[in-house]
Structures are given as C-alpha cells and as structure tokens.
Amino acid sequence: MYKDLAHIREKSAFIIDMDGVIYHGNSLLQGAQEFVEWLSANNKAFLFLTNSSERSPLELSQKLARLGVMVDPEHFYTSALATAAFLASQNPGGSVYVIGEPGLIQALYDAGFTMNNVNPDYVVVGEGRGYSLETLERAVKLVNAGGRLIGTNPDLTGPVEGGIVPACGALVAPIELATDTKAYFVGKPNPLIMRHGLRRLNTRREDTAIIGDRMDTDIVAGVESEIETILVLSGVTSLQDIPRFPYRPRHILEGVFEIPDSPLNQ
C-alpha cells in the first residue's frame, strides 16, 4: 500500500468522512479519538463532511461525545445541509416532499422550504427508517406529476456495526426506475459539496486532503476536485476493490490511527 505519512501530516486542512472512517454505527473505530486529538493539537483545520443526511451537526457532535470524542458542531457538514443550500439557490421558498430523517427535514425548513405532499417542487430522498411502500408510491406519483427528484447522496450502501445496509442511492433507485427519471445527487462526489467544504475550512485545495472509505464517493470527489486523497480500509472498500476503478487514491491506510505522529507510527 502506498502511503507517505510525513506528507499527510504536513497538510494544513482535512475533509473527513465519518461512517467507516471514524465509526461504524455506534462503535468508534481504532485510533479515531487519538486522530481528532492530533488534529486539534497540531492546529489543523478540519471538517467532518458526511453523505449521511439523518443528523444535524449538533446531533453528530453529540453522537461523537457519547463515543468519547469531543468536537464542536461547526466542524460538521452534511449532505442534508448541502442539499438544502442547493435547492435554496435554485428555487428560494419552494416546497418539498421528503423521505428522510429530522436532520434533512430541519435543514430544508431552515433554508426556507415548506413540506408539501400534494404538488411539491421537489421530491427529496435521504436515508430514513420511514421509507416504506406507501412513501415510495407517493414519491413516484409526485415525480410523475412534475416534482423534481433529488437525492441527498448516491451511496448505495453504508457500514454499520452488523455489516452493510442500503443507503440513499439504493432507496432512490426504485423511484428512478418507476418514473424513468434520474435523480440529481448533491452529496459527494458532487463538486458542489466539496466547494462548500473548502469554503467552510477557508483553505486552498492544495493544502487539503480528503479522508474516506469509499472509492466511488470520497476518493473520486477528491480526484475531481484536485484535493489529495487518502483511502482508509476501515469501511466498505478493500484492497481487492481498488483495481475495479479507473482512478486511484494518493494514499492507502488501514485506518486513521496511522496518521498521528505517535511513537507507534514513527
């Protein structure tokens, strides 16, 4: 595996995925706490940029706190926030039908959108336990009636403690098939969310690295945004998966535990 830890440590800013990088579900991954402590101790700018749309930045901060890692809410940015910002730029004060969790719904409310299950401007799909045949049927009906289909992110699967579960891309697919419509996905690897991340960090792409566990979102997002890429093998991607893709990460690590310059990693 190629890795230049000294070069990685020289970066002044990091965009970091969460699921599969920092935790699996409610289980903290090896070295995650030490990595966050290293970021703070070395005055690194950092942003947890997650394709998950379920939780708000405050909820993500509280989740990490329950796992023993203290990070302020301003260090989090989600696909829900990016989706709300994108829609607000396209159609201020519009209406939406949402399949998703409170983090997505609150982001849309905060951006000035109203909920509408009759004739919405957009049908917005994120991850959610409320996904059912009934919501699927309504989404298909509304898209066929003119609602524009938006997905918070294209991830087909996501890692949890027990393995892999369907994610937003898999939940949107039946609606796409039934309506002969392609959703517009706002989360990684869309350059929109990467630009949002860089602006929040107030950093240049040359000084930044992205850390993620997915070749098809995190790594391609970095490649297309010309941000240095670090793939960790603690999530959904294995070494055997990498040759299937036409692009490569700059660095490949077992996990973020390798990054802090502790005696064990010298």
Looking at residue 74, the DSSP 8-state letter turns out to be G
CA–CA dist 210, 228 (Å, integer): 6
17: annotated active-site residue: yes
At residue 163, φ and ψ (nearest 5 deg) are 140, -130
Q: Which residues pair with 14 in a beta bridge?
A: 46, 209
Residue 58 token pair: 């405050």
Q: Which of 17, 121, 155, 218 is catalytic?
A: 17
Whether 19 is catalytic: yes
Give the up-direction half-sphere exposure of residue 60: CA atoms within 13 A in the CB hemisphere. 29
Per the residue annotation, which of 19, 121, 213, 216 is the catalytic one? 19
Indicate the residue type of 242: I
Q: Where are the beta strands (DSSP E) in the chain?
A: 13-16, 23-24, 27-28, 45-50, 76-78, 95-99, 114-115, 122-125, 148-151, 157-160, 163-166, 184-185, 208-212, 228-232, 251-253
List active site positions: 17, 19
